[in-house]
Structure 1
Amino acid sequence: MTAKQKASKTINVILWTAQGFLALTMCWAGFMKIFTPEGLPFAWIKDSDYLVLFTGVIDLLAGIGIVLPALLRVKTELTVFTAYGIIILMIAASIFHISRGEAKEIGFNILMLFIAVFVAWGRHKGRRSRE
C-alpha cells in the first residue's frame, strides 16, 4: 500500500466518523424536537410549536441523508448535497440565535458547520477523483 493510498484510507475513515457524528447529532436533535420538545433547554422552543416541528423534521432528514446514500452506495452525491444543506441550516440557526440575542448559543452550530464543510469537501473531492 502506497503512502497516497494510506492517506486516502485515513481520510475516508475520518470522513465516515464525521458523517456518523453528524448523523447521530442531527437524528437526536430531530427526534427530541419532534417527540419531546418540552424537555429541551432552549428558550425558542416555547415560542413556536410549528418551528420546532419543522426544524425537527429537517434535522432528522439531514441525519439520514448524511450517511444513507454513501452507506448504500446509491446516489452518493446526495451525501454532498446533504452536507451543503447542513451548512445552510447551521448558518440560518446561527443568524436566528444572534437575532434573538443568543449569540453565546452558536458555538455548537459553528462546530457542526465546520464538520459539514469537511464532509462536503471530502466527499466531493472523492467523487472527482473517481470520475
Structure 2
Amino acid sequence: MNLTLHLALWIIAGLLAAVLLVSTAKMFVPREKIASLGHGAEWVLDFSPGALRAIGALEFLAAVGLILPAVLDIAPVLVPVTATCVALLFVGAATMRLRRGEQVTVVPDLVYLVMATFVAWGRFGPESFTG
C-alpha cells in the first residue's frame, strides 16, 4: 500500500464530497436568489426547480458514495464507481458552462473533473479497497 497515494485519495474524495454537499443548497434556496449571487450562478435559471432538486439529490448521493462505502466497509467498490459518476456530472457541468459562453467559470468544474477522475483511477487501480 502506498500510504501517500492512499492519503491523497482520501483527501481529494473528502474535498469533492464537501463541494458536492455545499452544492446541494440548490435544493433549498430559490433559484432566483442563487442567480443573484453573480455571473457564475445564473445557470440555475436555465433549469426548472424540479430539475435543480434532482441535480441536488444526485450531488448528495455522490457525496455519500465517495465516503461512506469505504468508511463502513460495505461495498467499497462503490467509491470508484461514484467517482466516475461525479466525473460525468462535471463533464455535463463544464459542457453547460461552455454552451452558455462562461469560459471563465468552467475552470472549477474542470478542476473537480480532474479530482474525480483521479479518485476513480486510484480506487479502481493501485489503491483499490477490494484488492
TM-score, normalization by structure 2: 0.86
The one of 18, 28, 31 equivalent to 1:35 is 28
Instruction: State the distance in 1 between where 2:57 and 2:111 align.
Output: 21
Indicate the structure (1 or 2) with the bigger Cα radius of gyration: 1
Alignment identity in percent? 29
More helix by share: 1
Aligned to 2:10: 16
* Distance apart, 1:128 and its partner CA: 8.2
Moved over 3 A (4+): none
Amino acid of the structure 1 residue aligned with 2:17: A
Distance 1:37-1:62 versus aligned 2 partners, 3 A rule: farther
Superposed CA RMSD in Å reads 1.7
Q: What are the residue-to-residue correspondences of 1:1-131 with 2, within 5 Å?
A: 5=1, 8-30=2-24, 32-38=25-31, 39-40=33-34, 41=37, 42-47=41-46, 48-125=48-125, 126-127=127-128, 130=131
Instruction: State the distance in 2 between where 1:102 and 1:70 align.
Output: 36
Residues 21-78 of structure 1: CA distance to partner in whole angstroms, max 9, x if unpaired? 0111101101x11112444331122332122212111111111111111111111111
Structure 1: which 5+ residue stretches go unaligned? none
- Classify the secondary structure of the residue corresponding to 1:46: helix
- Classify the secondary structure of the residue corresponding to 2:101: coil
Q: Size of the alignment, in residue pairs?
A: 123
Q: Does the aligned pair in 2 maintain the 1:37–1:52 contact within 8 Å?
A: no
Instruction: State the distance in 2 between where 1:21 and 1:14 align.
Output: 10
Structure 2: which 5+ residue stretches go unaligned? none
- Classify the secondary structure of the residue corresponding to 2:56: helix
Instruction: State the distance in 1 between where 2:51 and 2:120 align.
Output: 27
Q: Does the aligned pair in 2 maintain the 1:37–1:45 contact within 8 Å?
A: no
